[in-house]
Amino acid sequence: MRADATTVEHDAERNRFVTRFPEGDAKLVYKRLAARTLDLTHTYVPPVLRGRGVADALVRAALAHARQQQLKIVPTCPYVERWFEKHPQERDVITTRPAAT
């Protein structure tokens, strides 16, 4: 199965984007840092599903959500950081972590 066949759900109650497979759930977890800022903190894809574009689909779903809701993203997760390095044209949604008050 490739990413283009992957359905990603936004589970706002649990602060994650998730896609479900018989082999297990893949997820991209986030924290809300401010009213308009999401920190993408952790990506997990079951080992048997890796290399199939599932993590890419999760990141793209998070970006689509951020753009639709006019949110900014802090890419804390190492996978997400590397993803943005490979897709510099998508960096318009990136921001820095808001300063503590």
Is 0.95 surpassed by the pTM of this model? no
Could you write out the three-class secondary structure of 8-51?
CEEEHHHCEEEEEECCEEEEEEEEEEECCEEEEEEEECCHHHCC
What is the tens place of the pLDDT at every residue in 48-90? Answer: 999 999 999 999 999 999 999 999 999 999 999 999 999 999 9
Strand partners, 11: 16
What is the tens place of the pLDDT at every residue in 26-54? Answer: 999 999 998 899 999 999 999 999 999 99
Instruction: Find where tokens 């951020």 sit.
Output: 66
Going from the N-terminus, what domains does the chain have, and what CATH number goes with each?
3-93 (3.40.630.30)
- Packing angle, helices 54-69 and 78-86, rounded to 10: 80
